[in-house]
Chains A and B, each alone.
Chain A
Amino acid sequence: MRLLFGSCFTLILAAAIGLGATWLTITRGIAFGALSIGAWTAWPKSGSTDIDPYARATIARSGELPIGMGDGIAFYARTDDLGKPFDGRCTYAISGLTPAARYWTVALYDRDGRLVANTLDRHVFTSEEIVRDIDGSFTINVAPRARPGNWLPTGGIERFVLVWRLYDTPIGVATRTTKEGPMPSVTRKNCS
Protein backbone atom coordinates (compact mmCIF):
# COMPACT_ATOMS: atom_id res chain seq x y z
CA MET A 1 0.00 0.00 0.00
CA ARG A 2 2.76 2.35 0.99
CA LEU A 3 4.71 1.37 -2.14
CA LEU A 4 1.73 2.08 -4.36
CA PHE A 5 1.12 5.45 -2.74
CA GLY A 6 4.80 6.34 -2.97
CA SER A 7 5.16 5.47 -6.63
CA CYS A 8 1.95 7.32 -7.54
CA PHE A 9 3.22 10.36 -5.67
CA THR A 10 6.58 10.11 -7.42
CA LEU A 11 5.07 9.76 -10.88
CA ILE A 12 2.73 12.71 -10.46
CA LEU A 13 5.49 14.86 -9.01
CA ALA A 14 7.86 13.81 -11.84
CA ALA A 15 5.27 14.72 -14.49
CA ALA A 16 4.66 18.09 -12.81
CA ILE A 17 8.39 18.86 -12.56
CA GLY A 18 9.17 17.72 -16.09
CA LEU A 19 6.28 19.36 -17.90
CA GLY A 20 6.51 22.47 -15.75
CA ALA A 21 10.19 22.89 -16.56
CA THR A 22 9.49 22.38 -20.28
CA TRP A 23 6.65 24.90 -20.27
CA LEU A 24 8.76 27.45 -18.41
CA THR A 25 11.80 27.16 -20.66
CA ILE A 26 9.76 27.29 -23.85
CA THR A 27 7.49 30.18 -22.99
CA ARG A 28 10.42 32.17 -21.62
CA GLY A 29 12.44 31.42 -24.74
CA ILE A 30 15.50 30.12 -22.95
CA ALA A 31 18.38 29.15 -25.22
CA PHE A 32 22.13 28.76 -24.91
CA GLY A 33 24.82 30.95 -26.45
CA ALA A 34 23.08 34.28 -25.79
CA LEU A 35 24.93 37.44 -26.80
CA SER A 36 23.79 40.27 -24.53
CA ILE A 37 24.75 43.90 -25.10
CA GLY A 38 22.97 46.31 -22.77
CA ALA A 39 19.24 45.67 -22.97
CA TRP A 40 19.65 43.68 -26.20
CA THR A 41 20.05 39.92 -26.49
CA ALA A 42 20.65 37.82 -29.58
CA TRP A 43 21.07 34.09 -30.07
CA PRO A 44 23.42 33.88 -33.07
CA LYS A 45 23.43 30.07 -33.12
CA SER A 46 19.64 29.97 -33.56
CA GLY A 47 20.18 30.95 -37.19
CA SER A 48 22.33 27.92 -37.96
CA THR A 49 22.32 24.13 -37.68
CA ASP A 50 24.08 24.58 -34.31
CA ILE A 51 20.75 25.66 -32.82
CA ASP A 52 20.23 24.07 -29.39
CA PRO A 53 17.22 21.89 -28.49
CA TYR A 54 15.61 24.59 -26.34
CA ALA A 55 15.67 27.17 -29.13
CA ARG A 56 14.36 24.52 -31.56
CA ALA A 57 11.46 23.73 -29.26
CA THR A 58 10.72 27.44 -28.77
CA ILE A 59 10.53 28.24 -32.50
CA ALA A 60 8.55 25.07 -33.20
CA ARG A 61 5.94 26.29 -30.74
CA SER A 62 5.92 29.97 -31.77
CA GLY A 63 6.03 29.43 -35.55
CA GLU A 64 8.86 31.90 -35.94
CA LEU A 65 11.55 31.45 -38.61
CA PRO A 66 14.84 32.59 -37.05
CA ILE A 67 17.00 34.90 -39.13
CA GLY A 68 19.73 32.88 -40.90
CA MET A 69 23.36 33.34 -39.95
CA GLY A 70 24.46 34.40 -43.45
CA ASP A 71 21.62 36.90 -43.54
CA GLY A 72 21.95 38.82 -40.30
CA ILE A 73 21.28 38.80 -36.59
CA ALA A 74 18.30 39.80 -34.45
CA PHE A 75 18.63 41.44 -31.03
CA TYR A 76 15.58 41.34 -28.75
CA ALA A 77 14.86 43.79 -25.93
CA ARG A 78 12.07 43.33 -23.40
CA THR A 79 13.40 45.76 -20.78
CA ASP A 80 15.18 49.10 -20.63
CA ASP A 81 18.87 49.44 -19.71
CA LEU A 82 18.02 49.19 -16.01
CA GLY A 83 16.23 45.88 -16.49
CA LYS A 84 12.72 47.29 -16.00
CA PRO A 85 10.18 45.59 -18.31
CA PHE A 86 8.88 47.76 -21.16
CA ASP A 87 5.57 49.49 -20.49
CA GLY A 88 3.72 50.74 -23.59
CA ARG A 89 2.33 53.70 -21.63
CA CYS A 90 5.84 55.09 -21.07
CA THR A 91 8.21 56.95 -23.36
CA TYR A 92 11.62 55.47 -24.12
CA ALA A 93 14.56 57.11 -25.87
CA ILE A 94 16.79 54.84 -27.93
CA SER A 95 20.03 56.43 -29.01
CA GLY A 96 23.67 55.75 -29.54
CA LEU A 97 25.76 53.67 -31.86
CA THR A 98 24.90 50.63 -33.92
CA PRO A 99 27.32 47.87 -34.92
CA ALA A 100 28.63 47.77 -38.48
CA ALA A 101 25.98 46.48 -40.85
CA ARG A 102 24.82 47.21 -44.38
CA TYR A 103 21.30 47.82 -43.17
CA TRP A 104 19.44 47.63 -39.90
CA THR A 105 15.80 47.76 -38.90
CA VAL A 106 14.14 48.22 -35.52
CA ALA A 107 10.58 46.97 -35.12
CA LEU A 108 8.05 46.89 -32.28
CA TYR A 109 5.85 43.85 -31.53
CA ASP A 110 3.56 42.64 -28.81
CA ARG A 111 4.75 39.68 -26.76
CA ASP A 112 3.40 37.18 -29.30
CA GLY A 113 5.30 38.77 -32.19
CA ARG A 114 2.36 40.64 -33.74
CA LEU A 115 2.64 44.22 -34.93
CA VAL A 116 0.83 46.84 -32.86
CA ALA A 117 -1.98 48.91 -34.40
CA ASN A 118 -1.41 52.67 -34.53
CA THR A 119 -2.69 55.70 -36.41
CA LEU A 120 0.50 56.20 -38.46
CA ASP A 121 0.78 52.55 -39.49
CA ARG A 122 4.38 52.82 -38.33
CA HIS A 123 5.87 49.54 -37.09
CA VAL A 124 9.50 49.79 -38.07
CA PHE A 125 12.38 52.14 -38.83
CA THR A 126 15.21 51.24 -41.18
CA SER A 127 18.74 52.66 -41.15
CA GLU A 128 17.94 54.50 -44.38
CA GLU A 129 14.83 56.40 -43.33
CA ILE A 130 15.79 57.39 -39.80
CA VAL A 131 16.13 61.13 -39.18
CA ARG A 132 19.66 61.83 -37.95
CA ASP A 133 21.43 64.77 -36.34
CA ILE A 134 24.25 66.52 -38.20
CA ASP A 135 26.85 64.22 -36.58
CA GLY A 136 25.00 61.11 -37.77
CA SER A 137 23.63 60.18 -34.35
CA PHE A 138 19.93 59.49 -33.91
CA THR A 139 17.25 59.16 -31.27
CA ILE A 140 14.15 57.00 -31.63
CA ASN A 141 11.25 57.87 -29.35
CA VAL A 142 9.22 54.80 -28.46
CA ALA A 143 6.07 56.34 -27.06
CA PRO A 144 2.28 55.93 -26.89
CA ARG A 145 1.59 59.47 -28.21
CA ALA A 146 3.01 61.37 -31.19
CA ARG A 147 6.53 62.69 -30.74
CA PRO A 148 8.67 64.85 -33.02
CA GLY A 149 11.47 63.14 -34.93
CA ASN A 150 11.58 59.36 -35.08
CA TRP A 151 8.40 58.20 -33.34
CA LEU A 152 7.85 54.47 -32.96
CA PRO A 153 4.32 54.11 -31.50
CA THR A 154 3.62 51.59 -28.74
CA GLY A 155 -0.14 51.78 -29.22
CA GLY A 156 -0.34 52.02 -25.43
CA ILE A 157 -0.19 48.23 -24.97
CA GLU A 158 1.09 46.98 -21.66
CA ARG A 159 4.12 44.93 -22.74
CA PHE A 160 6.04 45.19 -25.98
CA VAL A 161 9.20 43.77 -27.52
CA LEU A 162 11.75 45.63 -29.64
CA VAL A 163 13.72 43.69 -32.23
CA TRP A 164 16.85 45.22 -33.71
CA ARG A 165 17.94 43.37 -36.86
CA LEU A 166 21.33 43.86 -38.47
CA TYR A 167 21.72 42.68 -42.05
CA ASP A 168 25.02 41.76 -43.68
CA THR A 169 27.02 42.28 -40.50
CA PRO A 170 30.20 40.85 -38.97
CA ILE A 171 28.36 40.57 -35.62
CA GLY A 172 27.66 36.92 -34.89
CA VAL A 173 28.84 33.82 -33.06
CA ALA A 174 32.41 35.13 -32.78
CA THR A 175 31.38 38.45 -31.20
CA ARG A 176 32.48 38.61 -27.57
CA THR A 177 32.83 42.16 -26.35
CA THR A 178 30.51 45.11 -26.37
CA LYS A 179 33.26 47.10 -28.08
CA GLU A 180 32.80 45.04 -31.22
CA GLY A 181 29.07 45.53 -31.11
CA PRO A 182 27.95 48.77 -29.50
CA MET A 183 24.16 48.71 -29.25
CA PRO A 184 21.96 51.76 -28.64
CA SER A 185 21.01 52.65 -25.09
CA VAL A 186 17.37 52.32 -24.00
CA THR A 187 16.35 54.94 -21.45
CA ARG A 188 12.95 55.27 -19.84
CA LYS A 189 11.57 58.81 -19.74
CA ASN A 190 8.16 59.78 -18.39
CA CYS A 191 5.09 57.60 -18.14
CA SER A 192 1.51 58.66 -18.80
Chain B
Amino acid sequence: MMVRLLLWVLGAILLGGIVHLSTVLAMPKAANQDAYSRLTPLTPVNTMVALAAPTAQASVLPFTDPAFATAVCRYDLSDGALKLNAPVSQAYTSVTFYTRNSVAYYAINDRAAGRRAIELDLMTPEQHAQVPEEEDVTAADRLIIESPTATGLILLRALAPEPGLMPMARGALAAAKCQIGPVQ
Protein backbone atom coordinates (compact mmCIF):
# COMPACT_ATOMS: atom_id res chain seq x y z
CA MET B 1 0.00 0.00 0.00
CA MET B 2 2.73 2.48 0.97
CA VAL B 3 4.84 1.50 -2.04
CA ARG B 4 1.88 2.01 -4.33
CA LEU B 5 1.16 5.47 -2.87
CA LEU B 6 4.82 6.41 -3.22
CA LEU B 7 4.72 5.40 -6.87
CA TRP B 8 1.66 7.59 -7.46
CA VAL B 9 3.36 10.54 -5.74
CA LEU B 10 6.54 9.99 -7.73
CA GLY B 11 4.50 9.95 -10.92
CA ALA B 12 2.79 13.18 -9.86
CA ILE B 13 6.14 14.88 -9.26
CA LEU B 14 7.43 13.83 -12.68
CA LEU B 15 4.24 14.94 -14.39
CA GLY B 16 4.28 18.16 -12.34
CA GLY B 17 7.76 18.88 -13.63
CA ILE B 18 6.51 18.55 -17.19
CA VAL B 19 3.54 20.83 -16.45
CA HIS B 20 5.92 23.37 -14.87
CA LEU B 21 8.35 23.43 -17.78
CA SER B 22 5.67 23.61 -20.44
CA THR B 23 3.80 26.45 -18.71
CA VAL B 24 7.04 28.44 -18.30
CA LEU B 25 7.85 27.97 -21.99
CA ALA B 26 4.29 28.82 -23.05
CA MET B 27 4.09 31.98 -20.93
CA PRO B 28 5.62 34.46 -23.45
CA LYS B 29 3.16 33.31 -26.12
CA ALA B 30 0.15 33.33 -23.81
CA ALA B 31 0.83 36.62 -22.01
CA ASN B 32 -1.66 39.37 -22.86
CA GLN B 33 -0.12 42.05 -20.63
CA ASP B 34 3.40 41.99 -22.04
CA ALA B 35 5.07 45.18 -23.26
CA TYR B 36 3.91 44.78 -26.88
CA SER B 37 0.29 44.24 -25.85
CA ARG B 38 0.38 47.23 -23.50
CA LEU B 39 1.80 49.49 -26.21
CA THR B 40 -0.46 48.33 -29.05
CA PRO B 41 -3.45 50.59 -28.16
CA LEU B 42 -1.13 53.60 -27.64
CA THR B 43 1.11 53.38 -30.68
CA PRO B 44 0.24 53.29 -34.38
CA VAL B 45 2.37 50.81 -36.29
CA ASN B 46 5.72 51.98 -37.82
CA THR B 47 5.55 55.42 -36.21
CA MET B 48 7.73 56.93 -33.51
CA VAL B 49 5.54 57.86 -30.55
CA ALA B 50 6.72 59.62 -27.39
CA LEU B 51 5.53 57.85 -24.24
CA ALA B 52 4.08 59.83 -21.34
CA ALA B 53 6.55 60.19 -18.48
CA PRO B 54 5.88 57.59 -15.76
CA THR B 55 4.16 58.97 -12.66
CA ALA B 56 3.04 57.39 -9.40
CA GLN B 57 -0.48 57.17 -10.87
CA ALA B 58 0.30 55.73 -14.27
CA SER B 59 3.16 54.08 -16.08
CA VAL B 60 2.74 52.32 -19.40
CA LEU B 61 5.49 49.81 -18.57
CA PRO B 62 6.64 48.81 -15.07
CA PHE B 63 10.17 49.68 -13.89
CA THR B 64 10.61 52.50 -16.42
CA ASP B 65 13.60 54.72 -15.62
CA PRO B 66 12.02 58.10 -14.71
CA ALA B 67 15.22 59.98 -15.57
CA PHE B 68 14.67 59.19 -19.25
CA ALA B 69 12.40 60.49 -21.97
CA THR B 70 11.14 57.49 -23.93
CA ALA B 71 9.73 57.01 -27.41
CA VAL B 72 8.56 53.77 -29.00
CA CYS B 73 8.32 52.57 -32.56
CA ARG B 74 6.09 49.49 -32.78
CA TYR B 75 7.20 47.97 -36.04
CA ASP B 76 5.86 45.50 -38.57
CA LEU B 77 8.31 44.58 -41.32
CA SER B 78 5.87 42.59 -43.47
CA ASP B 79 5.57 45.54 -45.91
CA GLY B 80 9.30 46.19 -46.17
CA ALA B 81 12.40 47.27 -44.27
CA LEU B 82 12.27 50.04 -41.69
CA LYS B 83 14.46 53.12 -41.47
CA LEU B 84 15.27 54.60 -38.11
CA ASN B 85 16.73 58.04 -37.70
CA ALA B 86 17.26 59.39 -34.21
CA PRO B 87 19.23 62.55 -33.42
CA VAL B 88 21.26 62.16 -30.24
CA SER B 89 20.58 64.40 -27.27
CA GLN B 90 23.19 66.31 -25.26
CA ALA B 91 23.54 63.69 -22.54
CA TYR B 92 22.94 60.07 -23.42
CA THR B 93 20.76 58.45 -26.03
CA SER B 94 20.21 54.76 -26.65
CA VAL B 95 18.17 52.59 -28.98
CA THR B 96 17.12 49.08 -27.98
CA PHE B 97 15.38 46.57 -30.26
CA TYR B 98 12.97 44.01 -28.84
CA THR B 99 11.23 41.06 -30.47
CA ARG B 100 7.46 40.65 -30.27
CA ASN B 101 8.08 38.75 -27.01
CA SER B 102 10.22 41.45 -25.30
CA VAL B 103 13.62 39.84 -25.96
CA ALA B 104 16.24 42.59 -26.36
CA TYR B 105 18.22 41.47 -29.40
CA TYR B 106 20.19 44.62 -30.14
CA ALA B 107 21.08 47.83 -28.32
CA ILE B 108 23.30 50.73 -29.25
CA ASN B 109 24.09 54.06 -27.59
CA ASP B 110 25.07 57.44 -29.03
CA ARG B 111 28.78 56.96 -28.42
CA ALA B 112 28.86 53.55 -30.12
CA ALA B 113 26.94 55.04 -33.05
CA GLY B 114 29.56 57.78 -33.06
CA ARG B 115 27.61 60.45 -34.91
CA ARG B 116 25.16 63.28 -34.48
CA ALA B 117 22.34 60.86 -35.21
CA ILE B 118 21.72 57.14 -34.86
CA GLU B 119 20.78 55.85 -38.32
CA LEU B 120 19.77 52.23 -38.85
CA ASP B 121 17.97 49.96 -41.29
CA LEU B 122 15.90 47.25 -39.71
CA MET B 123 14.88 44.23 -41.77
CA THR B 124 14.02 40.57 -41.56
CA PRO B 125 16.77 38.06 -42.49
CA GLU B 126 14.88 37.39 -45.77
CA GLN B 127 14.83 41.10 -46.66
CA HIS B 128 18.52 41.37 -45.78
CA ALA B 129 19.31 38.48 -48.14
CA GLN B 130 17.59 40.39 -50.95
CA VAL B 131 19.70 43.53 -50.51
CA PRO B 132 22.07 43.53 -53.54
CA GLU B 133 25.66 42.75 -52.60
CA GLU B 134 27.24 46.01 -53.81
CA GLU B 135 24.61 48.11 -52.09
CA ASP B 136 25.50 46.33 -48.90
CA VAL B 137 29.09 47.48 -49.35
CA THR B 138 28.35 51.08 -50.31
CA ALA B 139 25.97 51.29 -47.40
CA ALA B 140 28.72 50.14 -45.07
CA ASP B 141 28.38 53.28 -43.01
CA ARG B 142 24.69 52.55 -42.57
CA LEU B 143 24.01 49.95 -39.95
CA ILE B 144 21.74 47.07 -40.95
CA ILE B 145 20.03 45.23 -38.13
CA GLU B 146 18.20 41.93 -38.61
CA SER B 147 15.00 41.45 -36.66
CA PRO B 148 14.35 37.84 -35.62
CA THR B 149 10.59 38.49 -35.72
CA ALA B 150 8.52 40.45 -38.27
CA THR B 151 7.00 42.55 -35.48
CA GLY B 152 8.61 44.07 -32.43
CA LEU B 153 9.49 47.24 -30.57
CA ILE B 154 12.19 49.88 -30.88
CA LEU B 155 12.73 51.77 -27.65
CA LEU B 156 14.45 55.13 -28.01
CA ARG B 157 15.58 56.76 -24.79
CA ALA B 158 17.25 60.07 -23.95
CA LEU B 159 18.60 60.86 -20.49
CA ALA B 160 17.66 64.01 -18.62
CA PRO B 161 20.67 64.33 -16.26
CA GLU B 162 18.53 66.57 -14.05
CA PRO B 163 14.77 67.20 -14.00
CA GLY B 164 15.16 70.63 -15.65
CA LEU B 165 16.67 69.00 -18.73
CA MET B 166 13.67 66.76 -19.41
CA PRO B 167 12.27 69.15 -22.09
CA MET B 168 15.65 68.94 -23.87
CA ALA B 169 15.53 65.14 -23.80
CA ARG B 170 11.92 65.04 -25.01
CA GLY B 171 12.77 67.54 -27.74
CA ALA B 172 15.59 65.33 -29.02
CA LEU B 173 13.19 62.39 -29.27
CA ALA B 174 10.52 64.44 -31.02
CA ALA B 175 12.74 64.70 -34.11
CA ALA B 176 13.23 60.92 -34.33
CA LYS B 177 11.60 59.01 -37.17
CA CYS B 178 10.90 55.41 -38.02
CA GLN B 179 9.25 54.56 -41.32
CA ILE B 180 8.99 51.87 -43.95
CA GLY B 181 11.09 52.75 -46.98
CA PRO B 182 13.45 51.36 -49.61
CA VAL B 183 17.06 50.84 -48.63
CA GLN B 184 19.30 53.40 -50.33
The finding on whether chains A and B are genuine partners in a shared complex, rather than unrelated, reads yes
Query: A residues 68-116 with Cβ under 8 Å of B?
Result: 68-72, 74, 102-103, 105, 107, 109, 112-116
Residues of B within 8 A of A (CB): 4, 8-9, 11-20, 22-25, 27-28, 30-31, 33-35, 37-38, 54-57, 59, 61-68, 91-92, 94, 96-98, 101-109, 111-112, 148, 153, 155, 157, 159-163
Known: A59-B34, A126-B159. A66 touches B102 (CB 8 A): yes
Instruction: State whether B94 touches A167 (Cβ < 8 A).
Output: yes
What CA separation (Å) do A25 and B17 show in the bound complex? 13
Instruction: State whether A25 touches B24 (Cβ < 8 A).
Output: yes
Instruction: State whether B24 touches A22 (Cβ < 8 A).
Output: yes
Residues of A within 8 A of B (CB): 6, 9-11, 13-19, 21-22, 25-26, 46-49, 51, 53-54, 56-57, 59-72, 74, 102-103, 105, 107, 109, 112-118, 123-124, 126-129, 155, 163, 165, 167-168
Q: Which residue of B98, B109, B148 is within 8 Å of A70 (Cβ)? A: B109
What CA separation (Å) do A65 and B65 show in the bound complex? 11
Output the least CB separation between A70 and chain B (Å).
4
Residues of A within 8 A of B163 (CB): 129
What CA separation (Å) do A123 and B59 show in the bound complex? 13
What are 26 pairs between A and B in contact, CB < 8 Å?
A13-B13, A14-B19, A17-B16, A17-B17, A19-B19, A25-B24, A49-B104, A57-B24, A57-B27, A57-B28, A59-B34, A60-B27, A63-B62, A64-B61, A68-B107, A71-B108, A103-B92, A105-B65, A105-B159, A113-B62, A114-B62, A127-B161, A128-B91, A129-B161, A163-B63, A167-B94
Instruction: State whether A65 touches B159 (Cβ < 8 A).
Output: no
Instruction: State whether B24 touches A68 (Cβ < 8 A).
Output: no
Interface centre among A51, A70, A109, A124 (most CB of B within 10 A): A70
Output the least CB separation between A35 and chain B (Å).
17
Nearest A residue (CB) for B9: A13
Output the least CB separation between B107 and chain A (Å).
3
Instruction: State whether B161 touches A126 (Cβ < 8 A).
Output: yes
What CA separation (Å) do A48 and B107 show in the bound complex? 9
Q: Which residue of B33, B92, B157, B161 is within 8 Å of A63 (Cβ)? A: B33
Instruction: State whether B63 touches A64 (Cβ < 8 A).
Output: yes
